[in-house]
Structure 1
Amino acid sequence: MPYINIKITREGATRAQKAEIIKGVTDLMVRVLDKDPNSTFVVIDEVALEDWGVGGLPVEEFRKLHAGG
C-alpha cells in the first residue's frame, strides 16, 4: 500500500493540475512497482513560499539569485 507525499509551493496549482499529478504518480507506481492503484495513496501538500528554502535561502531569494540563467 504505497503512500506518496508530494510537496509543492503554494503558487496556484489548479485542481486539474493536481488531479493530473495524482494520476501520473499512481500510474508510475502501477507500471514500475506493479502496485494496485486502488491502494495507492497520493497526498499533495502546498507549502507557502516563506516556509520553503533551497540552497540555504528562502525560495524567493534563491529564485532571484538564479533568475535568467
Structure 2
Amino acid sequence: MPFAQIYMIEGRTEEQKRAVIEKVTAALVEAVGAPKETVRVWIQDVPNTNWGIAGVTAKDLGR
C-alpha cells in the first residue's frame, strides 16, 4: 500500500488539495503499478510561521 505524505504551507483551497490527491495517486499507480484503491495520500498543512526558508519564516518572506 503506497502512502504519500505531502507537506504544504497552509492556504490551499479544498479544490487544490483534491487535485494534489488525484495527481499523486495517479503518479503512484503509474510508477509502481499499485492498485488505485490501495494508495493513500496525506496532506499536512503547515502554518507559514512554522516553515523556514533560508533561515527565515515563510511568513516573513510573504508566502
**Do the structures match in fold with TM over 0.5?**
yes
1 or 2, which has the higher helix percentage? 1
Query: Which consecutive residues of structure 1, in runs of 5 or more, have no partner in the other structure?
Result: 65-69
User: Taking structure 2 as the reference length, what is the TM-score of the superposition?
Assistant: 0.87
For 1:16, the aligned partner's letter is: E
Residue pairs, 1:1-69, within 5 angstroms: 1-11=1-11, 13-61=12-60, 63=61
Identity %: 26
Query: Which consecutive residues of structure 2, in runs of 5 or more, have no partner in the other structure?
Result: none
After TM superposition, which residue ranges in structure 1, 4 or more long, deviate above 6 angstroms? none
1:4 deviation in Å? 0.5
Instruction: Let me know the Cα RMSD of the aligned residues.
Output: 1.2
1:60 deviation in Å? 2.8
Say which SS state the counterpart of residue 35 (structure 1) adopts: coil
1:31-57 C-alpha deviation (Å, 9 max, x unpaired): 111111111100011000000001122
Return the alpha-carbon distance in structure 2 between the equivalents of residues 31 and 52 of structure 1: 31
